Amino acid sequence: MRYFIPVMLAVLAVSCRTIQPIRDLEPAPTTSEGGRKMSNFQYLRQCMMGNFSSALQAAADSDYFDIRLRMVPIWEANENMFYLYVEQSVATSQDKPYRQRIYKVVKEGDNAFTSYIYTVAQPLRLTGKMGDDPLFKQLTPDSLQLKDGCEVRLQFDTNTLSFVGSTGEKTCPSDRSGAAWATSKVSIDENKMVSWDQGWNNEGKQVWGAVKGGYIFIKQ
């Protein structure tokens, strides 16, 4: 049996492969090969935005689908917040995404960040759009619907140079396939995003989601 995941964690500018993030707890800028200074929060944004694919994982393990993930920056970012438009689709049906969200990523501290998850009305109209498309200009943050309790809290790991986090325990409601709540575990670095979403019933039994581990999305 193959498993879908509703990912968390929204396009294409300078690849984060050229960026070295902060290793210290104190805020201190780092420098890319191009001479630009970048904070951990800016580094997180670079790592999150782009196109991702689970094709390699799907080829190696038939329990996983080949899923494509797009995370596109929208609206104007600042030093404490940025927005991403996120869509997921099966590789053979990229014009029909099965999940479309908007993430608001907020800086809580030098090494602490929160990604809030929102739905949007009539999401299919946004399919394949880039962040500067006029449709995004017609949207406003107050028109979005927050998935309360489903936010993902991330910490920067100075040893692995990655961002690791999860939802709270039993905070994200879900009624999919008999579930009572859902959990998401996420790891993000310069090359990939690993996302493991699972649904649980009131008895604590998993009723949907991958069993063996998260989906591995390689940045393209």
Q: What is the pLDDT of residues 71-91, one digit of tens each?
A: 999 999 999 999 999 999 999
For 170, the token pair is 């039993």
Query: What's the pLDDT score for residue 27?
Result: 39
Length of the chain: 220
Tell me which amino acid residue 125 is.
Answer: R
Exposure string for 22-59, b = 16+ CB within 10 A, e = fewer: beeeeeeebebeeeeebbbbbbbbbbbbbebbbbebbe
Return phi, psi of residue 197, to 5°: -110, 135
Q: What is the pTM of this model?
A: 0.83
pLDDT tens profile 102-147: 999 999 999 999 999 999 999 999 999 999 999 999 999 999 999 9
CATH of domain 16-219: 2.40.128.590
CB of 129 within 8 A of CB of 85?
A: yes
Could you tell me the residue ranges of all domains in the chain? 16-219
